[in-house]
């Protein structure tokens, strides 16, 4: 399948010049057709087809039966679009009451004298036993980066975020996401910006071409060593998009 990857990379390199190349190709094809007709080189072909209608029809049907499904299978993902919007794990951050070791809320004791001793001073130990202020708990943003397409053909945009939902539990989230579709696209965390590295972690198949969605990072993954989020075509080994993740 590497030949298809090489072909896709070649097409990607030519994509910025698609308009002049298309016009030039049509002009060349028209000139060749005009020359062939003027020379009469088409007549032997037409005569053979006329004399061999059945073999010609079978050959044409077999050709279409192979090329049309193959072409659709390889090319249709390029224009198919899907949208998915999942809730952000950052939306679940809350403010919680600090609990003591017994698991119950720590309360401020109130002396019988109204909070002061006979000499007007606060009772000993009040400062240490005061109710701690509520603290913010829940998911936190660890790092983020801008998604960039590999080239003009493999465009991509949006934000990649690493969110710690619990201690040592992480989620990769794509937001305001849009990308060129393709076959067999997967999402990776990797230390190499050009291809999945030896220590890369594959998070799953690309969920949609547009929207905002999440991927659970496997437990035990050291996200500090995997600085890139990547969309990669497994079938043809082609890079579609990367994001450098920074704190």
**Mean pLDDT along residues 42-61:** 84
Does residue 122 fall inside a structural domain?
A: no
Q: Is 133 inside a domain boundary?
A: no
Share of the chain above pLDDT 70, in %: 70
Q: Would you say 142 and 221 are in contact if contact means Cβ atoms under 8 Å apart? A: no
* Of residues 111, 146, 138, the one with CA closest to residue 125: 111
d(CA 136, CA 98): 9
- Domain range spanning residue 237? 83-93+138-244
Helix (H) and strand (E) counts in the chain: 5, 11
Lowest mean pLDDT among 65-69, 110-114, 128-132, 238-242: 110-114
d(CA 161, CA 89): 11
SS3 (DSSP) at 186: strand
pLDDT value at 74 more than 80: no
Residue 44: band (very low, low, confident or very high) from pLDDT cuts 50, 70, 90 = confident
In this predicted structure, the answer to whether residue 114 has a pLDDT above a threshold of 50 is no
33-42, 100-109, 232-241: range with lowest mean pLDDT: 100-109
Quick one: which H or E segment has residue 179? strand 169-179
Q: What is the pLDDT, as a whole number, of residue 241?
A: 97
Q: Which pLDDT score, from 0 to 100, does residue 207 have?
A: 97
Q: Is residue 206 part of a domain?
A: yes
Domain membership flag for residue 131: no
125 pLDDT more than 60:
no
Q: Specify the residue for token string 């701690």.
A: 132
**Locate tokens 């088409």: which residue?**
42
Residue 107, in any domain of the structure: no
CATH of the domain at 174: 2.60.40
Q: How far apart are the first and last CA of the chain?
A: 38
18-22, 25-29, 97-101, 147-151: least confidently modelled range: 97-101
Residue 233 lies in a domain: yes
* Mean pLDDT score, 72-82: 70
Which stretch of 49-58, 83-92, 207-216 has the lowest confidence by average pLDDT?
Answer: 49-58
Looking at the domain assignment, is residue 18 inside a domain?
no
Task: Compute CA 181 distance to the chain's CA centroid, rounded to the nearest angstrom.
Answer: 10
- Predicted pLDDT at 89: 94
What total of structural domains would you count in the chain? 1
Q: What is the pLDDT of residues 163-214, one digit of tens each?
A: 999 999 999 999 999 999 988 999 999 999 999 999 999 999 999 999 999 9
* Cβ atoms of 188 and 201 closer than 8 Å: yes
Q: What is the mean pLDDT of the chain?
A: 80
pLDDT at residue 242 is higher than 90: yes
Q: Is residue 45 part of a domain?
A: no
pLDDT band at 246 (very low <50, low <70, confident <90, very high): very high
Per-residue pLDDT at 42 = 78
Q: What is the pTM of this model?
A: 0.63
Rounded Cα distance, 150 and 16, in Å = 13
């Amino acid at each position: 399948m590497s030949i298809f990857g090489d072909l896709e990379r070649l097409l990607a390199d030519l994509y910025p010049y698609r308009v002049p190349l298309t016009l030039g190709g049509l002009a060349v094809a028209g000139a060749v057709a005009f020359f062939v007709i003027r020379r009469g080189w088409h007549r032997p072909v037409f005569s053979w087809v006329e004399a061999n209608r059945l073999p010609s029809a079978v050959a044409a049907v077999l050709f279409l039966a192979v090329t049309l499904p193959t072409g659709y299978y390889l090319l249709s993902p390029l224009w198919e679009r899907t949208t998915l919007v999942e809730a952000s794990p950052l939306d679940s951050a809350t403010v919680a009451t600090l609990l003591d070791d017994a698991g119950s809320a720590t309360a401020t004791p109130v002396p019988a004298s109204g909070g002061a001793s006979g000499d007007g001073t606060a009772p000993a130990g009040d400062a240490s036993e005061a109710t701690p202020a509520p603290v913010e708990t829940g998911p936190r943003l660890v790092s983020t980066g801008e998604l960039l397409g590999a080239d003009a053909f493999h465009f991509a945009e949006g934000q990649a975020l690493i969110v710690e939902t619990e201690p040592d539990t992480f989620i990769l989230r794509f937001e305001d996401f849009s990308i060129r579709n393709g076959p067999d696209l997967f999402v990776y965390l990797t230390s190499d910006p050009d291809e999945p590295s030896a220590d890369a972690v594959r998070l799953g198949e690309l969920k949609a071409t547009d929207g905002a969605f999440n991927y659970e990072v496997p437990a035990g993954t050291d996200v500090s060593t995997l600085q890139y989020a990547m969309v990669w075509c497994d079938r043809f080994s082609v890079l579609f998009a990367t994001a450098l993740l920074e704190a």
